[in-house]
Amino acid sequence: MKCPKCNSDLTSVVRHKLNMNYCPSCKGMWLEQQELGELEDEAFDIGDDAKGTLAFSTTPTSTKCPECNSPLQKFNYRFYDLEMELCPNQHGYWLDEDEDNRVLELMKQEEKDVKRKVLAEDQWNRTLNRLRSGSFLSKLRNLFR
Ligand SMILES: [Zn+2]
Ligand SMILES: [Zn+2]
């Protein structure tokens, strides 16, 4: 397989416990469809539904898919300020140098956000339950007896 950016031969390397096709000269990498999901799960396994839309809108580029030669489509990864390319025939994703680390960083941030949301909802539910239980109100009434 050739690098879509600089035409060097891609080599198979293990990064983040994943076997991926890596370009030794421009340090980009080609991830198959499910490998991007597996990379995200290294940082945060919340299931695909909770992750939301991966690619919202795409624009064609002059880079070609290393598998089918179709022009790769540029997109912003999960609405973040991180640009990646994907094959319109679902062969995979092209990530430039270090973008795999950006994905992991973003997923870790996402994990914190979701945990914060869950925690806040939990506290709110407990407050509601205490109000509904009546003990709070009866204590108040006892004060004025
Ligand atoms: Zn390259
Ligand atoms: Zn393709």
How do residues 93-116 score in pLDDT, each as one tens digit? 999 999 999 999 998 988 888 888
pTM for the structure as a whole? 0.76
Centre of ligand 2 to C-alpha 35, Å, is 15
Pick the ligand that lies closest to the CA of residue 11. Answer: 1
Residue 16 near residue 39 (C-beta atoms within 8 A) = yes
**Average pLDDT across the chain, whole number:** 87
Centre of ligand 1 to C-alpha 2, Å, is 8
Pick the ligand that lies closest to the CA of residue 69. Answer: 2
Centre of ligand 2 to C-alpha 64, Å, is 8
Across 33-134, where does the E strand assignment appear?
Answer: 59-64, 71-76, 83-86, 92-95
Centre of ligand 1 to C-alpha 8, Å, is 6
Residue matched to tokens 């370009």: 23
- Which pLDDT score is estimated for 78? 85
Query: What percent of the chain is modeled with pLDDT above 70?
Result: 86
> What band does 126 get if pLDDT is binned at 50, 70 and 90?
confident
Task: Tell whether the model's pLDDT for residue 47 goes beyond 80.
Answer: no
Please give the Cα distance from 109 to 103 (Å, whole number).
10
> What band does 87 get if pLDDT is binned at 50, 70 and 90?
very high
> What band does 136 get if pLDDT is binned at 50, 70 and 90?
low
Task: Tell whether the model's pLDDT for residue 84 goes beyond 90.
Answer: yes
Pick the ligand that lies closest to the CA of residue 66. Answer: 2
